[in-house]
Homo-oligomer: A and B are copies of this chain.
Amino acid sequence: MRPRIIIVGAGFGGIAAAQALRTADADIVLIDRTNHHLFQPLLYQVAGAALSPADIATANRALLRRNRNTRILMAEASGVDAAARELCLADGRRLPFDYLILATGAAYSFFGNDQWREHAYVLKSIDDALAIRAALLSAFERAEQCDDPAERQRLLTFAVVGGGPTGVELAGTIAELARTTLARDFASIDPRRARVVLCEMGDRILTAFDPPLSQSAREMLESLGVEVRTGEAVKAIDERGLNVGDQRIDAAAVLWAAGTEARPAAKWLAADAAKNGAVKVMPDCSIPGHPTIFAIGDVASFDAGDGPLPGLAPVAKQQGKFVGKLIAARVAGRSAPERFRYRDYGTMAVIGRSRAVAEIAGLKLKGFIAWLAWSLVHLMLLVDFRSRVSVYVHWAWSWFTYGRGARLLTGYAPEPGEKPRTAGLPEIEAEPAE
């Protein structure tokens, strides 16, 4: 019987592993809670009504159509029985494995303030992005028909918490939506007067970059009209806004991009975890004591010598490819690569429609040239060609017309913190799978 390899998660890590394993003489099962691979770096553009979900997501079955040895199950994993070598699913089923790759990623953390989940939007999935989009567009529609000046101002105020790349990208895109796209589309309100506030607890935004680049990014944001507030922590978030430092900001929507925590692989394996819950892994990405169980991407903490690798897409992708090749070699009886090495192609954060900051191979770039680099790298990271063409068309149109391609308000946006109704997740009786 052929070896069984289970991959949990169809993000950058899981898909890269599946691709590296596609010619292996093994039976591979890819498990994901959704039916699609999502290009998360561009998710903020769906939230900002610039791109459609289908521009940045691809059905897993379409993506892996040529992987003859791979089966896809839309299901949710809930634990690992390492001794029995079985993956436990949320519906009770247990799937046996010879090799297991956990690539389940990370989720947002509210630093213990879980009550804020009810009132703040996060950005991790397509549904999250559509909820934000609906909140933004409907705020302007409501403000247009609002007679109370204080309420109108609240409806035209948006707060983003977290000065990392996600927060910076969100703040920039909201500012552009208000000041460029919607600018002349209303009669009673002036969208250009919308207030976008980016709150960062630390003393500067984009702490992963050199301080001068952080400062450039801040200036670019400010030139887009974003108010950047550093050095104060958020004290409270409610349905009408938030309290940051000792100030009250009434807002139509609060977007939380301030902290992530890894999904529970470490707990599942009773293994050592980093501060954010990510499971510490060996140089070959395996779990200590479990040479056939691997963790990659945001769910793992890989010590690169000078600290853990960051939770970035290229890290997950390279680790996925590495682990895939490693397992393929073992299955084929060949010598396997022993140690993962990350090739750092740089870090980037985009600000608005044409500016960015980037650190690539020691070069520090800012402005339009950084944006070009950013867009090239991201378009090449897109996993399938169709998305690239589609995204090119939509971006080019957006670029030339300042238009927003996907400014639709549809009715099924969840309230912040609402449990997503996981439509489509099969409800199977707890039968042993074979």
Q: Taking beta carbons and an 8 Å cutoff, which residues of A are in contact with B?
A: 34-36, 52-55, 57, 59, 61-62, 65, 71-75, 125-127, 130, 134, 137-138, 141-142, 144-147, 182, 184-187, 386, 389-390, 393-394, 397, 401, 403-414, 420-429, 431, 433
Contacts and interface: CB of A to CB of B under 8 A. Distances in A.
A187 B186 CA distance: 52
A97 B186 CA distance: 20
Nearest to A396: B389
A405 B54 contact: yes
Given A54-B52, A144-B73, A426-B146, A36 B393 contact: no
B424 A138 contact: yes
Contact of A431 (B34, B147, B412): B147
30 contacts: A35-B407, A36-B407, A36-B408, A36-B409, A54-B408, A61-B407, A62-B407, A65-B184, A74-B144, A125-B410, A127-B412, A130-B410, A130-B412, A141-B424, A141-B426, A142-B427, A147-B428, A147-B429, A386-B397, A389-B397, A390-B393, A390-B394, A409-B423, A411-B420, A411-B423, A412-B412, A412-B413, A412-B414, A412-B421, A413-B423
A22 B71 CA distance: 56
A411 B127 contact: yes
Contacts of A75: 145
Contacts of A386: 397, 401, 403, 405
A427 to B, nearest CB: 8
A426 B74 CA distance: 37
Contacts of A431: 147
Contacts of A182: 61
A413 B127 CA distance: 10
A114 B350 CA distance: 51
A406 B62 contact: no
Given A184-B65, A394-B390, A403-B62, A420 B426 contact: no
B412 A420 contact: yes
Contacts of A409: 34-36, 74, 423-424
A55 B390 CA distance: 11
A62 B412 contact: no
A270 B71 CA distance: 61
